[in-house]
């Protein structure tokens, strides 16, 4: 299934019998069809967040882009890839940031977007991904009389998400996102198979390229047979046009299950400030 599904779509896109002369095939573009809410945790980013109440930083490095796509009137289709990491760093004197742990994610995505009206767009994304987490040489191990045994954390999952973008006017833009994850293989095996996501976002343009935004992401998941509602809030200022390359400065707040694999089952709460480059 991991191989056949993208190949079948690729063959379908290349088959001239499925699209008319007005349709166009394109390759490699930064204009991705599916643009998630800014507060979504498991999305590709490039930037850094400093936890204001802890001596830690979160470093994001990665990208998602569409490899091949098809324009067909008011509808568009694409096949893309995801490659990104988020790292937990410790902050020490002399501008040193030892790496504590890193989570790696890679996978493929299939996307669909439709212009419902001049003000309303709808996008769907199917994602097949692998994520694993690893302690690094900057991790501080607790003193113990027992021998340390490495902790393995990895999972393969599918994600189905839908985003609705609505432009109230030229200045105010609203976005809502619904998603569901299904984990079909994981280590440890006790990880809950299903989780649900709700994201809401509002963005107001002060000028053509300067905007303010508020974004909130809620994830309902179970850990050790106990359900948790995890919240990630983000608000900031962005320099750049809508759904284009930009730079954001933001404040963020997280409360809920620790999303870092090496700290699976732990509770995480922090305030932070950060910056991000969006491709």
Query: SS3 of 11, please?
Result: helix
Rounded to two decimals, the pTM is 0.86
Is the per-residue pLDDT at 10 higher than 60? no
Q: How confident is the model at residue 13 (pLDDT cuts 50, 70, 90)?
A: very low
Which has more pLDDT, 103 or 149? Answer: 103
Cα-based distances in Å from 12 to 44, 109, 123: 27, 16, 20
CATH code reported for the domain at 4-278: 2.40.230.10
Across the chain, mean pLDDT equals: 89
Half-sphere exposure of 186 (CA within 13 A, CB side): 16
pLDDT value, residue 36: 96
Give the tens place of pLDDT for each residue, 98-124: 999 999 999 999 999 999 999 999 999
Domain ranges of the chain: 4-278
181: left (phi over 0), alpha (psi -120 to 50) or beta: beta
pLDDT value, residue 19: 42
């Amino acid at each position: 299934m991991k191989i056949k599904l993208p190949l079948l779509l690729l063959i379908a896109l290349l088959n001239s019998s499925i699209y008319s002369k007005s349709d166009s095939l394109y390759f490699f573009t930064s204009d991705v069809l599916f643009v998630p809410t800014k507060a979504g945790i498991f999305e590709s980013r490039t930037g850094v967040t400093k936890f204001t109440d802890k001596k830690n930083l979160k470093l994001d490095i990665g990208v998602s882009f569409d490899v091949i796509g098809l324009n067909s009137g008011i509808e568009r289709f694409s096949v893309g890839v995801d490659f990104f990491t988020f790292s937990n760093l410790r902050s020490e004197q002399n501008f040193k940031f030892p790496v504590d742990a890193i989570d790696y994610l890679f996978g493929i995505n299939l996307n669909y977007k439709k212009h419902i009206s001049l003000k309303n767009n709808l996008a769907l994304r199917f994602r097949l991904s692998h994520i694993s987490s690893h302690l690094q040489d900057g991790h501080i191990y607790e003193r113990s009389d027992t021998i340390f045994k490495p902790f393995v954390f990895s999972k393969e999952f599918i994600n189905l998400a839908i985003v609705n973008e609505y432009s109230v006017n030229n200045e105010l833009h609203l976005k809502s996102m619904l998603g569901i994850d299904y984990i079909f293989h994981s280590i440890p095996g006790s990880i809950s198979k299903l989780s649900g996501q709700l994201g809401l976002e509002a963005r107001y343009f002060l000028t053509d390229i300067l905007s303010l935004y508020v974004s909130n992401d809620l994830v309902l998941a179970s850990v050790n047979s106990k359900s948790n509602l995890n919240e990630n809030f983000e608000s900031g200022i962005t320099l750049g046009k809508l759904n284009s390359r930009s730079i954001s400065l933001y404040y963020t707040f997280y409360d809920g299950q620790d999303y870092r694999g090496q700290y699976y089952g732990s509770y995480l709460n922090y305030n932070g400030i950060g910056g991000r480059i969006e491709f």
